Amino acid sequence: GGSRIAVRLAHMASGEYDLTIIDDNIDVCRRLPEKCSGCDVHIIHGDARNNDVLTEENIEAMDAFVALTDFSETNILACLTAKEFHVNKTIAEVENIQFISEAEGLNIGTVINKKLLASSKIFQLLLDADESSSKFMALADAEVAELDARPGSRITKAKVMDLKLSHDMTIAGLIRDGKGMLVEGRTQIQPGDHVVVF
């Protein structure tokens, strides 16, 4: 798909990867060279769910397939098609939240959602999490965050029950000095603790 995200990805990854954008809208394909100016990207008019188009573009030799159309259903089906060609890494943008659990159940690869990614970033900022050591996983009905508590961050300044965290947030456990432990209200998180938050 020749969406805004695809254009942005082309600007970020051009030079590092050989990129091909496939879109079934001829007008979009005509505008893409201008939008992707300075990027080394091949633009193909066709339907990425079509086996013949994927065969012509040598899909079996690709390292990754990223479905970024504006339609969740199209992205899911395109990734399923790419999986049939044994592409190792497939990523589908699924904007319709109700489709996320179904997409995960189909084993289409990685599912991304702009809203969940944005909330993960905000969550990371609220907890003063270090980006280099944090991991966030968006699920259909939950977010799981793994992070290392930094010295001076808000979560190290009081016992968990006194932190006034959102009621939607549960600190499930932590690892301190190589030992796992459950977190309860009286627990005080220390700098360096590896914390798991739902």
pLDDT tens track for 144-192: 777 788 888 888 889 988 988 877 778 888 889 888 888 888 999 999 8
The reported pLDDT for the residue numbered 31 is 95
Residue in the structure block whose two tokens are 């993960």: 120
Residue in the structure block whose two tokens are 């899911």: 76
| CA atoms within 13 A of residue 5's CA, in its CB half-sphere | 15
The reported pLDDT for the residue numbered 108 is 85
Q: Indicate yes or no: pTM above 0.85.
A: no
Give the whole-angstrom CA distance, residue 97 versus residue 113. 8
Query: By the 8 A CB rule, do 28 and 49 touch?
Result: no
On the question of pLDDT at 20 being above 80, the answer is yes
Q: Which residues, other chains included, contact 161 with Cβ-Cβ below 8 Å and sequence gap of 6+?
A: 185, 186
DSSP string, 105-159: HTT-SEEE-HHHHHHHHHHHHHTT--GGG-EEEE-SS-EEEEEEPPTT-GGGSS-
150-180 burial by CB neighbour count: b if 16+ within 10 A, else e?
A: beebebbeeebeebebeeeeebeebeeeeee
25: how many CB neighbours lie within 10 A of its CB? 13
Structure-token pair, residue 65: 């397939």
Beta strands 89-93 and 110-112 are: parallel
